[in-house]
Amino acid sequence: MKELFDVTIIGGGPAGLYSAFYSGLRGMKTKILEAQPSLGGKVTLYPEKMIWDAGGQPPVTGAVFAKQLVEQALTFNPAVVLNRKVDFLEKDGNNQFVITTDDGSKHHSKSVILANGGGIITPKRLEIEGASRFEGNNLHYRMPSLKSLHNKVVMISGGGNAAIDWAVELVDIAEKVILVCRKGEAGAHEAQVEKLENSNAVILRNTVIRSLEGAGSHLDEAVLENVWTGEISKERVHHVLVHHGYHQDNSLDTSDNLPMERTEDGFYSGDAQGCTSQEGIFAAGDNISYEGKVNLLVGAFQDAVNAVNSAKNHIDPSAAATALVSSHNEQFDERNKQMIREMLGTV
């Protein structure tokens, strides 16, 4: 027999995770569908980057922040399905949603929250023969721990904002930073480029990595080519970080009776309450556009609350418009008592 959920959240990034927490707070039977092997979304791409602008949260690394988001999301034990890309969304004869994932599984839900951001994000790999054998060791597509790069020779390939930010951050940590940029000028914020140019980093413009050399799975040397002169050079390295951008897959299809209105930029057209053009389908985070939209990480949390409240009222029109605040919500009564007992040492 099919298991029916009150709400199914497509996407396990910040907007999806907070949606899961808040839907649990509202007593909804909840499922998260995530295409990646773990929850956390884009925040996990920058595990060492400091996040300063989350209200009431001291400066925290992306890795810690993502971990806290996941822990919060699992407070009310939602069902979680990982490594499953959503391919198709339709409605059945009972006016309920059927979500089909890439393994052919079907998930049934009374409402849906789209929290899949710009789609499934995977880093663009180096198109170099044999490069894959160094992945997981000292060839990286996301920033590893800063401790592992301390006093090391680090080569960074890329000329966008993320690559330049990485290089600036590592100047005072690594023994030597080498930036390899295919173009003559980096396409990043001028202030960050200026910081890098005024540092002791080595900037190799009009240059690409042609091959990586090393024994087994450990790379030791990068072979470079100047694309203007054809000159070949070699650099001894301890780590190579690659940031050439991302592939984004937002190929979620819907049935003919569920057309979704989108803006010229591809965002779902909606309103501040998380409603899309389709009744019962809501959106939160980077994928929805409406007047007054806050395009910050913290804005995803407000989107999540509004989308969940709209979903709750969709499946139960008699429900309150919002949940009680946590200090008064009966969902936390026993948890609060337990925390007080622990603080008083009476457990």
Q: Which residues are annotated as a binding site for FAD?
A: 34, 42, 46, 86, 121, 286, 327
CATH number of 4-121+247-341: 3.50.50.60
The pLDDT tens digits of the residues spanning 110-120 come to 999 999 987 77
DSSP symbols for 171-219: TTTSSEEEEEESSSS--S-HHHHHHHHTSS-EEEETEEEEEEEEETTEE
Q: Taking the chain (347 residues) in consecutive chunks of 10 residues, what is each chunk's mean pLDDT?
A: 93 96 96 94 84 89 93 96 94 91 95 87 86 91 88 95 91 96 84 91 95 92 95 96 82 83 88 95 94 90 97 95 79 79 80
Q: Which residues are annotated as a binding site?
A: 34, 42, 46, 86, 121, 286, 327
pLDDT of residue 347: 62
**In this structure, what token pair is assigned to residue 190?**
């001028």
Domain with CATH 3.50.50.60 in the chain: 4-121+247-341, 125-244
* CA separation for the pair 278, 154 (Å, rounded): 49
Specify the 3-state DSSP secondary structure of 51: strand
pLDDT of residue 84: 94
DSSP state, residue 54: S
The total of other beta-carbon atoms located within 10 Å of residue 34's CB is 26
pLDDT of residue 45: 80
* CA separation for the pair 207, 210 (Å, rounded): 9
Q: Which amino acid appears at position 87 of this protein? A: D
* pTM score: 0.79
Instruction: Look at the chain and count its residues.
Output: 347
pLDDT of residue 177: 96
Radius of gyration over every alpha carbon of the chain, rounded to an integer in angstroms: 23
Domain 125-244 matching CATH 3.40.50.720: the answer reads no
Specify the 3-state DSSP secondary structure of 334: helix
* CA separation for the pair 201, 176 (Å, rounded): 7
Specify the 3-state DSSP secondary structure of 136: coil
Place of tokens 């773990």: 38
Distances (CA, A) of 37 to 44, 85, 150, 185: 12, 11, 29, 36
* CA separation for the pair 10, 17 (Å, rounded): 10
Given a contact cutoff of 8 angstroms between Cβ atoms, the answer to whether 144 and 166 are in contact is no
